[in-house]
Amino acid sequence: MNNNEKRQHPRLPVEVEVELYRSDRSMCLVWTDDLSNGGVSLTMNGHGDWPPIGARVQIRVSGPLGGDDEPPLVDAIVVRHTEAGIAVRFDEPPTRE
């Protein structure tokens, strides 16, 4: 890993269609670019109104993952804008005591 690299988790190139939910907009379909344990980079597919850095969003894999269960909504925070879209960090799950 590059010494200038600040990421804590390795990234894997993954292209999956996901639903992006924002409190102030209707759901839009976007694609993942890469994925790590800490977050995901999303290609905004021409959607021009990107959520601002710091915005809380939710994402869900579009379509079934197998079986009849609906994929879960995952809470995330926008941490940066990229050339093609946004990068989000997954919210930390609550710690168990």
- Asked if residue 1 is part of any domain, the answer here is no
Write down the pLDDT at residue 1: 41
Cβ contact 33:48 at 8 Å: no
Q: Which amino acid is at 97?
A: E
How many residues belong to the chain?
97
In a domain, 75, yes or no: yes
| Joined tokens for residue 41 | 């980079």
In a domain, 28, yes or no: yes
In a domain, residue 58? The reply is yes
The model's pTM is: 0.81
Domain membership of residue 37 (yes or no) is yes
Is residue 53 situated within a structural domain? yes
Instruction: State which residues of the chain have pLDDT below 50.
Output: 1-4
Please name which of 2, 65, 52 lies closest in space to residue 22, comparing C-alpha atoms: 52
Question: For residue 49, what are its two tokens?
Answer: 């109104």
Q: 24-41, pLDDT tens digit by residue?
A: 889 999 999 999 999 999
Residue 3 lies in a domain: no
Task: Please give the residue range of the domain that contains residue 40.
Answer: 11-90
